[in-house]
Amino acid sequence: MSVPHYRVSVIKGDGIGVDVAESALAVAEAAQRRVGGFALDLRPIRAGARYFAETGRDVEPGGEEAAGEADAIFLGAIGWPEIRHPDGTEIAPHLRLRERFQLYAGVRPVRAYPNAPRRLADPRAANIDLVIVRESTEGLFYSAAVHGRSPVVTDDEVQDVLRITRPTTEKLHDFAFGLARKRKARGGVGRVTCVDKANVFNSMAFFRRIFDERRADFPDIEVSYNYVDAQALDLVRRPWEFDVMVTENMFGDILSDLAGGLVGGMGMAACGEIGEAHGLFQPAHGSAPDIAGRDMANPMAAILSAALMLDYLGEKSGNRSLAAAAAVIDGAILDGFTANELRPMEFGGNMGTRDVTRRLIERIEAGPRAAARG
């Protein structure tokens, strides 16, 4: 019997992006074999800093168009410290993909796992389970999305534009409220915190005003507010009290790295970037050229991102098998950490990229419990 196929454009990119992308997709295919009901059609696209150094292009000809035709995009990591544009900025075609496909909602889950490092001594840190929803097409990254958009670039002055628009911000807040509602249905708190700097910037006051307008459509969801500097403090002081946080692009970029550090490091930092018609999934860490190809990278962020991708494809298509496969991956990760079977080198453990991947696949094939997605 034939099953539906889902095309995934795969950009392995640079450095450890190649290593962790291969691990993540191997785990996703193991979950597919266990659950059945769908197939993944993986289509590679060459892109990244090394490709730029070889060809003068950051994405292969026709690559962006092919990505747009796929059901989802999976990205390993892009960047190489020595390969930059003449102005000193790094090669970053993924920023252009965000704008081209209007991937406005950057979803950054942050969850504590048993036996994974926790930087806070308070026992409540074991209960950290939050999501940062970062607007990903505007904000202070607006100037960077298309290289050279900054309105003033001279030897004496550079200006970058911070842009907040109503249509994008309405969609962002609706997405955050909808995510909180889904998490509440699965036993979560059901709260959205608006993180801004509305006491200083007109753009942030506008961001908060739209938040207050959109909350009226979600009366079942609690709301709270935090200025970004206070939010940084509270992520260290009481992160277990937060559920969903919604914020501007640069603020979300910084806060999500801080939050990732609370639950082990960037090797646990998954990311989904969602638009109305497209989704891109990637670990939030960099390309780490110093350990590329050395079987040292923690693939967990990429594997968690692959689970986000399967969940997205399931919701988009209505195929429950995809969501079941995502839950199988989540369950294998939770069971593996609980049993202290997952010990990545990033955490001081003795398991390289391949060993972590192999152990997760064994867990999946043995039939781990399926964990409900947060």
Distance of CA 107 to the CA centre of its chain: 5
Percentages helix, strand, coil for the chain (3-state, rounded to 5) are: 45, 20, 35
Q: Could you tell me the pLDDT band of residue 362, with boundaries at 50, 70 and 90?
A: very high
196-199's contacts with Cβ under 8 Å and 24+ in sequence apart are: 196/225, 196/227, 196/228, 196/247, 196/248, 196/251, 197/227, 197/228, 197/229, 197/251, 198/225, 198/227, 199/227
| Residue 260 pLDDT exceeds 80 | yes
Tell me what pLDDT residue 159 has: 87
d(CA 84, CA 91): 6
| Residue 272 pLDDT exceeds 50 | yes
d(CA 312, CA 305): 10
- Residue bearing the bigger pLDDT, 307 or 144: 307
d(CA 219, CA 35): 37
| Residue 369 pLDDT exceeds 90 | no
**Helix, strand or coil for residue 55?**
helix
Tell me what pLDDT residue 141 has: 86
Tell me what pLDDT residue 124 has: 97
d(CA 232, CA 114): 24
Q: What is the tens place of the pLDDT at every residue in 170-223? A: 999 999 999 999 999 999 999 999 999 999 999 999 999 999 999 999 999 999
Tell me what pLDDT residue 225 has: 98
Q: What is the tens place of the pLDDT at every residue in 106-131? A: 999 999 999 999 899 999 999 999 99
Tell me what pLDDT residue 373 has: 45
Q: Could you tell me the pLDDT band of residue 371, with boundaries at 50, 70 and 90?
A: low
| Residue 303 pLDDT exceeds 90 | yes
pTM of the model: 0.94
308: left (phi over 0), alpha (psi -120 to 50) or beta: alpha
Query: Of 332, 263, 278, 271, which is closest to residue 26 (Cα–Cα)?
Result: 332
User: How much is the average pLDDT of 42-64?
Assistant: 97
| Residue 368 pLDDT exceeds 60 | no
User: Cβ(141)–Cβ(252) under 8 Å?
Assistant: no
| Residue 17 pLDDT exceeds 70 | yes
User: How much is the average pLDDT of 288-315?
Assistant: 97
- Residue bearing the bigger pLDDT, 145 or 251: 251
Domains and CATH numbers, the chain: 1-103+276-374 (3.40.718.10), 118-262 (3.40.718.10)
User: Cβ(78)–Cβ(91) under 8 Å?
Assistant: yes
For the ranges 143-147, 161-165, 245-249, 346-350, the lowest mean pLDDT is seen at: 143-147
Q: Could you tell me the pLDDT band of residue 154, with boundaries at 50, 70 and 90?
A: confident
Q: What is the tens place of the pLDDT at every residue in 223-243? A: 999 999 999 999 999 999 999
User: Dihedral sign, CA of 141, 142, 144, 150?
Assistant: negative
29: left (phi over 0), alpha (psi -120 to 50) or beta: alpha
